[in-house]
Amino acid sequence: MRKRTIAFAIASLCIIPLLYSVIATVVIRLTGFGIVKKLNRTGIALTFDDGPHPVFTEKLLDLLKKYNVRATFFVVGEKAKMHPALLKRMHAEGHQIGIHHLQHTSSWRLTPGRLKKQLVETEQIIHDITGVRPFLYRPPWGFMNAATIPLARSRNYRIIIWSHHFKDWKVASCETILLEGLRQVPEDGSIILLHDDGTNPSADDEAPDVMLSKLQIYLEEATAKGIPFILPILN
Ligand SMILES: [Zn+2]
């Protein structure tokens, strides 16, 4: 009996963290409960994660300006604090800015209290720089935990995931699949995930540079065809 109790206690200790992290993410992603993966409007939403980066974000903003396209930036709070001019420019040029944690930290490793701190501090940084309170949130890697939805609701955030990505955080996939993938994205509310910073451990530093060269070709073609680029949620 005692052995069974110990086995049960050990199993519970393993299952509870899994329920809190991986299983919570799988359930939310499969059911779509509390998250937005696709928009119910015509158009394509371009979203860029992990910046701002002093070189690549600047180049990206120039590119978006050239083609008169608005996009959404899910920024890392600490990087935003280091590059306030880039956030001011995003805001001035009509782009939307959302939260992507204070550091690029997985929600699987965050207690509810630490997750809240990541959100609130990033919200404050964006608000201090732009004067606007962000209400879009994308958890890094799309990883959530059991506290993600209640916390997002309590702060009136909308959690935006994506409908399409082409592994643009790697140079090899930018070279091989990105452009063809972008060309095939339907304009039925698709949300495309891209990255304007390649400094995460799983990414290639130079990947955003290759991504930008492919994005330029795509935007040239897409804007000539009149494909509408939309923002996930308009105020
Ligand atoms: Zn990210």
1 pLDDT higher than 70 = no
Q: Which residues pair with 230 in a beta bridge?
A: none
Distance CA 235, CA 229 (A): 16
234 pLDDT higher than 70 = no
- Ligand 1: distance of its center to the CA of 6 in Å? 39
Helix (H, G, I), strand (E, B) or coil at 229: strand
- How many beta carbons lie within 10 A of that of residue 178, not counting itself? 24
Q: Largest Cα–Cα distance in the chain?
A: 73
pLDDT tens, position by position, 95-109: 999 999 999 999 999
- As given in the structure block, the two tokens for residue 216 are 């330029």
pLDDT over 90 percentage in the chain: 91
pLDDT tens, position by position, 142-190: 999 999 999 999 999 999 999 999 999 999 999 999 999 999 999 999 9
**Overall residue count recorded for the chain in this entry:** 235
pLDDT over 70 percentage in the chain: 99
Type of residue at 174: C
- How many beta carbons lie within 10 A of that of residue 170, not counting itself? 20
Type of residue at 191: I
Distance CA 83, CA 142 (A): 24
Contact status, residue 45 vs residue 69, Cβ threshold 8 Å: no
- Ligand 1: distance of its center to the CA of 205 in Å? 14
- Ligand 1: distance of its center to the CA of 162 in Å? 12
Question: Given this model, what pLDDT does residue 35 score?
Answer: 96
Q: Identify the structural domains of the chain with CATH numbers, from first to last.
A: 2-225 (3.20.20.370)
Question: Given this model, what pLDDT does residue 57 score?
Answer: 98
pLDDT tens, position by position, 75-98: 999 999 999 999 999 999 999 999
- Ligand 1: distance of its center to the CA of 8 in Å? 37
- Ligand 1: distance of its center to the CA of 54 in Å? 17
Distance CA 96, CA 72 (A): 5
Kindly state the average pLDDT of the residues 33-60: 97
Catalytic residue positions, numbered:
49, 195
